Amino acid sequence: MAPERSDLIDLLDLKMLPAWVKEPTATDYVDRGEEDSGAPRRQPRTRVPRSRMHKPGRPDKDRGARAQDRRPAAQERDKRSKPQPGPPPVTVRFMPEARALENVVMQIKAGALAYSLFSLARLFLQKAQRYEVYLAAKPESPLFQLGERGPISVARQFLESNAFHLAQEEFYKIDIAQTEPIKGNFTSVARDRLSGTLLGPTNHHRYQPRLRSLYEQRFSQRMSFADYQRQIDIVSDPALVEQWKEEARTVTTYTTLREEPPLAFNSAIAAERHFRKAYLPGLVRTIEETMIDGLTSRQMPDRILRRLIEDAWATQNRSPSQMMQKLATGFREAALHIFRDRRGMLFVSPIRVRAFAYEQASVSPQVEAILQALAENPRTNRKELAGKLIVDVANEEAESRKLALAADLRWLITEGYVIEFNDGSLDLPRTKHVTQASGLQSAQSASEALALP
């Protein structure tokens, strides 16, 4: 489906940013919470009050209590001292999305302006709809994908453990209905502290299956089942009890889509059991490289791979060298021209810029005056240029002089002798074999006897 117009790039509001300017930009990535990051909750250090410090005559049982108080802090120090695993050996590269690039090429070709390649690269990285992400792994440490177009992970076990949750809509028709209200007098419910999910009373027949299912789907890669059980709280809030009763009324039916006659299952546990027996074997495949769209890269269920892409995006957003290279290649293939200005910054233009050769052309004094003014005043805009060249002129003649100046500028710009940037500034092309100082002297000597009529 083609992206909406708002997803494409409008160059009208593009600012020309010098390469050395590091502007803060708003990101679409949100701060990662503890649950999203997958990091275990860090326990606060236990500080022993002074009143409980050992004093002569204290009984030995106080010493044991103090040792038990210090144990969590010691365990936390041991945990931090262990070497943390490094990022997986996966190469991440960002590329412009084809339709967004085509849209930008059309806008550039429609005018005669030059655009900063640095700014364009940052513009492509601002929204996920405008770029694609290339992932490549080494043969000895490949990536894994669920089916032909499913989620990608650095670990096969992660996909196998979460395969039903990730791919259930491809294999089952899911129907949700409301049943009769739950009967019984319940005074408390169990709540998962990590996700806030209400699991129900511990003596209810659905409690244990729901507890195990939630663990397998969301937390099995993070901790053991025994550790996960310690994250369960028993709360006696009547409002939460009523909330659980309302949620428990919802019954989900799973009907197979790939079997005749279709099979129906009245619970996620039964459907997952069927899925693992009928579909999961052979569903996870090994890949060494792949291309995913930007939106998918920001919603990957594998938190390790998602964080790796986020970190690579943050690095590229500060210095988008990869995107600049890809844009330059795409622009050249579209017959656009890449050049450096006199300060060494890269730009793209529909016009091939070239230095004016005085010895090979005979031009009017007005044109030569424009070149002289721009050589002395780089990045001058049209209004400032007119103020320098049209002076001491009667009002009735000033308008005609402005029109003549606009016509001369148009010829110089379309021929590539003058560059007009998207911020409205004007400048001369960079000379390859002559320094800027000697080039300025050449321009001055060629027009030192110039006098405007």
pLDDT for the residue 359: 58
pLDDT for the residue 120: 95
Domain 353-446 matching CATH 1.10.10.10: the answer reads yes
CA contacts within 13 A on the Cβ side of 70: 10
Tokens standing for residue 127: 């929204």
Nearest partner of 429 among 361, 368, 340, judged by Cα: 340
* Distance between start and end Cα atoms, the chain: 60
| Domain ranges for the chain | 88-142+288-351, 152-178+253-287, 189-248, 353-446
Question: How many residues appear in the chain?
Answer: 453
Q: What is the DSSP string of 292-354?
A: EEHHHHTS-S-HHHHHHHHHHHHHHHHS-HHHHHHHHHHHHHTT-EEEE-TTS-EEEESS---
Q: How far is CA 451 from the centre of its chain?
A: 56
Buried b (16+ CB within 10 A) or exposed e, 128-163: bbbbbbebbbeeeebbbbbbeebbbbbeeebbbbbb
pLDDT tens for the 453 residues of the chain, in order: 444 444 678 887 675 554 444 444 445 554 444 334 344 344 444 444 444 444 444 445 455 545 455 555 555 555 555 555 667 889 999 999 999 999 999 999 999 999 999 999 999 999 999 999 999 999 889 999 999 989 999 999 999 988 998 999 999 999 988 888 788 888 899 999 888 889 889 988 888 888 888 887 778 777 899 999 999 999 999 999 888 888 888 888 999 999 999 999 988 888 988 999 999 998 999 999 999 999 999 999 999 999 999 999 999 999 999 999 999 999 999 999 999 998 899 999 999 999 887 655 577 888 888 988 998 988 988 888 888 888 777 777 888 888 988 999 999 999 999 999 999 899 999 886 544 444 444 334 333 332 322
pLDDT for the residue 145: 94
Identity of the amino acid at 355: A
pLDDT for the residue 368: 87
Tokens standing for residue 128: 């996920």
CA distance 404 to 420: 17
Tokens standing for residue 262: 């279709």
pLDDT for the residue 308: 94
Note whether 70 and 46 are within 8 A (CB).
Answer: yes
pLDDT for the residue 70: 53
